[in-house]
Amino acid sequence: MLLHLHPENPQPRNISTIIKVLSKGGIIIYPTDTIYGLGCDIFQHKAIERICRIKNIDPQKAQLSFVCYDLSDLSRYTKSISTPMYRMLKHYLPGPYTFILPASKEVPKILQSKKNTIGLRIPDNLIARTIVKELGRPILSTTLPGSMVEEYTDPEIMHDNFEKLVDVVADGGIGGMVPSTVIDCTGDEPVLVRQGAGVWETNVIM
């Protein structure tokens, strides 16, 4: 199913359709502030397994992120963080960044990695954040399989390629080609893991 969503005023009816799909264990392709993502409800075990089959990955070894509406989910899904760390996250989010943080016991067991971390994303994209807000919990997110990034910018092409594997492609317009910047925050100092769309300035952290 291909659903068109206005990037600045997502149609409530189409958002509602997406929420129903996610709540029943469905998988979506949806826009972010970087590249389109592959997502599902973090508490839908079978949906997580479906995503991992599509990507041919082990959920406990995969680089999967939690897409949240705002920082209010921090206290539930991550271990307590320092005030300076919170200020840093607040400075950069919403935005094209993924922050690797220590995971709490609230993270579903299927997603608890040996490193016991999660990736936190709050994209600066109204469609993505509206979906998460209406769902009432984060969505699990990862990149689409393969290396043909050019094919992952046009929702109609993505629908043609993945319509048998996913339940909904949320069309929010042409997507980007550069992924998020990844920052590891599990040590004493934040470490740049991958330079992506977000500018990382060490002089403003902490």
Q: Which amino acid is present at 48?
A: I
HEC string of 105-151 equals: CCCCHHHCCCCCEEEEECCCCHHHHHHHHHHCCCEEEEECCCCCHHH
Whether this prediction's pTM lies above 0.95 is answered by: no
Q: What per-residue confidence (pLDDT) applies to 69?
A: 93
Q: Is the peptide bond before 94 cis (omega within 30 degrees of 0)?
A: yes
User: Domain 2-204: which CATH class?
Assistant: alpha beta
| 181 backbone dihedrals φ, ψ, rounded to 5° | -80, 130
For residues 98-134, b (16+ Cβ closer than 10 Å) or e, as one string? Answer: bbbbebbeebeebbbbeeebbbbbbbebbbbbbbbee
Q: Give the highest mean pLDDT range of 45-59, 123-137, 150-164.
A: 123-137
- Greater confidence (73 vs 11) lies with 11
Q: What per-residue confidence (pLDDT) applies to 16?
A: 95
- Greater confidence (2 vs 109) lies with 2
pLDDT above 70 (res 189): yes
DSSP-derived letter for residue 43 is T
Q: What per-residue confidence (pLDDT) applies to 110?
A: 75
How many CB atoms neighbour CB 81 within 10 A? 16
CA distance 166 to 140: 14
> Between 12-23 and 126-135, two packed helices, what is the crossing angle to 10 degrees?
50
pLDDT level of residue 144 (50, 70, 90 thresholds)? confident
pLDDT level of residue 60 (50, 70, 90 thresholds)? low
CA distance 47 to 166: 10
Determine the distance from the C-alpha atom of residue 18 to the mean position of all C-alpha atoms in its chain, rounded to a whole number. 15
Mean pLDDT of 68-89: 86
Close Cβ partners of 5 (under 8 Å, ≥ 6 residues apart): 11, 14, 15, 31, 127, 170, 171, 172
CA distance 170 to 127: 9
What is the rounded average pLDDT for all residues in the chain? 88
pLDDT above 60 (res 129): yes
pLDDT level of residue 34 (50, 70, 90 thresholds)? very high
| 176 backbone dihedrals φ, ψ, rounded to 5° | -85, 180
- Greater confidence (115 vs 134) lies with 134
